Amino acid sequence: MRKQISRIIFTLFAITALFGSAATAASIPERMSGNYLGTFIGDDYGALRLTITPDGAITGIAHSNVSYEDLEVSGNCDYDGTCEFTTEGKPLRFFGSIDFMNRFIGKWESTEGSGKGSFTAIITRE
């Protein structure tokens, strides 16, 4: 009886370890990861070049046509496609979601309250 309980406990532990590690291996669906190109408009406007990694990290550049600056961006996406990223240097916050066609659509705002607008980006496949 004791051997049987030990086997059951070991089996449950092994299953938990197997499925627990598989669930944390990727934080977004594979179709969402890749390079995105887009634009943002509003009180500031310009171009976006973003990379979203399989673990949901966002990196890239937001080019402002108002200040003529390339601003580095960083952020994250969740499994459901909800994403947020911010710029370094100029305080802009972008938030939106990626839909089933890999269109990244959302809004942006200055964290100082001096501007707002919208953005769109689409995944590029090579």
- The domain that holds 97 is classified in CATH as 2.40.128.120
DSSP symbol at 97: E
Rg, the chain, Cα only: 20
Please state the domain count of the chain.
1
Residue 115 lies in a domain: yes
46-52 and 34-42 beta bridge pairing = antiparallel
Residue 80 lies in a domain: yes
**For position 9, what pLDDT does the model report?**
54
The domain of 81 spans: 30-124
Taking Cα atoms as reference points, which of 59, 68, 56, 3 lies closest to residue 26? 56
Least confident of 24-28, 64-68, 100-104, 109-113: 24-28
92-98 and 69-77 beta bridge pairing = unpaired
Residue 105 lies in a domain: yes
Residue 13 lies in a domain: no
Q: pLDDT per residue over 76-111, tens digit each?
A: 999 999 999 999 988 899 999 999 999 999 999 998
Residue 5 lies in a domain: no
Are the C-beta atoms of 62 and 45 separated by less than 8 Å? no
Residue 16 lies in a domain: no
